[in-house]
Amino acid sequence: MVKICCIGAGYVGGPTMAVIAFKCPNIEVVVVDISVPRIDAWNSDHLPIYEPGLDDVVKKCRGKNLFFSTDVEKHVCEADIVFVSVNTPTKTQGLGAGKAADLTYWESAARMIADVSKSDKIVVEKSTVPVKTAEAIEKILMHNSKGINFQILSNPEFLAEGTAIEDLFKPDRVLIGGRETPEGAKAVEALKNVYAHWVPVEQIICTNLWSAELSKLAANAFLAQRISSVNAMSALCEATGADVTQVSYAVGKDTRIGPKFLNASVGFGGSCFQKDILNLVYICECNGLPEVANYWKQVIKINDYQKNRFVNRVVSSMFNTVSGKKIAVLGFAFKKDTGDTRETPAIDVCKGLLGDKAKIDIYDPQVSKDQIQRDLTMKKFDWDHPMHLQPSSPTSMNKVNVVLDAYEAAKDAHGICILTEWDEFKALDYKKIYGNMQKPAFLFDGRNVIDADKMREIGFIVYAIGKPLDQWLKDMPAVA
């Protein structure tokens, strides 16, 4: 029986290995992590991450050919294929601070693999890593190999949170990069055979190592660029009276462009987009390509601009101050159908409102009070370190209240900010909500999930991203 071990039981490692185990009953899959609470959660009825369909997949395989363990060294030693899915946070100090990836955890994993291995292994990069990481890992393994043969493969993950299981079951493509040597080709074929259990062979793309590593960064940069492009257009739509939904629909009908990732919003979030673009910027700068670096920097600048613009619109609309006013924030996760809050726009929006001394009530169906408090008090980039290295007891914020439903959040509020596109926010009784709010009652839709005209009929003053402005909002323009 082929044995696979995955180091890292997070958003990538956990779901990916669960699906491999489900689709390959003849392969033993073990997910290892040094975090006891995380592994305990994977072995319980309450998994550590929320992802539609994940529960069913895990429960069908767990204890049969899918296992979760803290005995890292034992399972790495026994494995034929070792996936490494550890954190690659952005450096906060030293060379490349604020842009370069911190490979501390990757290097530590590589040294441990070399130290405990007693047989040849295929080591697979599953984390998003800078180009040429494989070369560095190769050197560590080679100089500590004790005669053992290691082959390094790059197998970047392209799943999207909220649809991860569906993406894993029916991927657009599986990308495997390896050395262009007989040994490298053999390793690529071994991993290809795993995915071929359920992925059509023509959708498994094989490249050299560097192309695979760069393809992941490029894919995320291109997707983020589309979001920043439509968000840039949303500002122009508001200024001219155009409707960004109509514009993006018309643009998306062009088959060369297509409709995906053209929804205007308060901004993109998630663990990869900003981090990968910063990484790409750093790589460009290191390779003497400042013009290319500046091009990609602008994608992040527009994203930051969009979040700041939203906060400015809220404050300016409410008589240029939210000091002492209650604002209901509906949604804290960076997108619907996930509890992930990494780089969520809600953090910057909430901090911006708190900076003007607002009182905030937050409701999200999947994000805990502890996580929200942690996110609002954590330093930038700290979120991407393992949980045990993050601040353990978040500072309580007396101007932030986390509540159990949207109606409680909106009670006596002066304004509502919708920051995540949860389906339940479309079905709320907004007449009831309006009746329990301070007047005038403001509704700021950062995801374009509600019918603005119907909300105006109820009595709300509505701001929706990229939509024609109410007269009230025209009279109180947002100043960036």
Q: Which residue has the tokens 């009070």?
A: 369
- Cα pseudo-dihedral 353, 354, 358, 362, rounded to 10: 80
24 tagged catalytic: no
Please indicate if the annotation marks 275 as binding a ligand.
Answer: yes
Please indicate if the annotation marks 13 as binding a ligand.
Answer: yes
**Strand order across the beta sheet in which 326-330 lies:** 400-402, 359-363, 326-330, 415-418, 442-445, 461-464
Rounded Cα–Cα distance for residues 373 and 382 (Å): 14
Please indicate if the annotation marks 342 as binding a ligand.
Answer: yes
Please indicate if the annotation marks 90 as binding a ligand.
Answer: yes
- Cα pseudo-dihedral 219, 220, 223, 225, rounded to 10: -110
Rounded Cα–Cα distance for residues 308 and 231 (Å): 12
The SS3 assignment for 352 reads helix
Segment (H or E) for 400: strand 400-402
Instruction: Kindly state the DSSP code that residue 342 receives in the 8-state scheme.
Output: T
Segment (H or E) for 463: strand 461-464
Please indicate if the annotation marks 11 as binding a ligand.
Answer: yes
Q: Are 334 and 386 in contact (CB under 8 A)?
A: no
The residue annotated as part of the active site, out of 6, 24, 61, 272, is 272
Please indicate if the annotation marks 272 as binding a ligand.
Answer: yes
* Upstream peptide bond of 440 is cis (omega within 30 degrees of 0): yes
Please indicate if the annotation marks 240 as binding a ligand.
Answer: no
Look up residue 150 and give its amino acid.
F
Please indicate if the annotation marks 12 as binding a ligand.
Answer: yes
Q: At what angle do helices 209-240 and 133-143 cross, to 10 degrees?
A: 150
Retrieve residue 389's tokens: 């290295």
Please indicate if the annotation marks 133 as binding a ligand.
Answer: no
Q: At what angle do helices 209-240 and 273-286 cross, to 10 degrees?
A: 120
Please indicate if the annotation marks 89 as binding a ligand.
Answer: yes
b/e burial code for range 184-202 (CB count within 10 A of at least 16 → b) = beebbebbbebbeeebeee
Retrieve residue 470's tokens: 């109410």
Please indicate if the annotation marks 87 as binding a ligand.
Answer: yes
Please indicate if the annotation marks 19 as binding a ligand.
Answer: no
Q: How many other CB atoms are found less than 10 A from the CB of residue 2?
A: 14
Please indicate if the annotation marks 8 as binding a ligand.
Answer: yes
Q: Are 457 and 429 in contact (CB under 8 A)?
A: no
User: What is the per-residue DSSP string for 277-326?
Assistant: HHHHHHHHHHTT-HHHHHHHHHHHHHHHHHHHHHHHHHHHHTTT--TT-E
Please indicate if the annotation marks 337 as binding a ligand.
Answer: no
Please indicate if the annotation marks 10 as binding a ligand.
Answer: yes
Rounded Cα–Cα distance for residues 210 and 133 (Å): 9
Instruction: Kindly state the DSSP code that residue 393 receives in the 8-state scheme.
Output: S
Please indicate if the annotation marks 38 as binding a ligand.
Answer: yes
Please indicate if the annotation marks 411 as binding a ligand.
Answer: no
Please indicate if the annotation marks 21 as binding a ligand.
Answer: no
Q: Which residues are annotated as a binding site for NAD(+)?
A: 8-13, 33, 38, 86-90, 127-128, 161, 272-275, 342
Q: Which residues are annotated as a binding site?
A: 8-13, 33, 38, 86-90, 127-128, 161, 272-275, 342
Residues assigned a catalytic role: 272
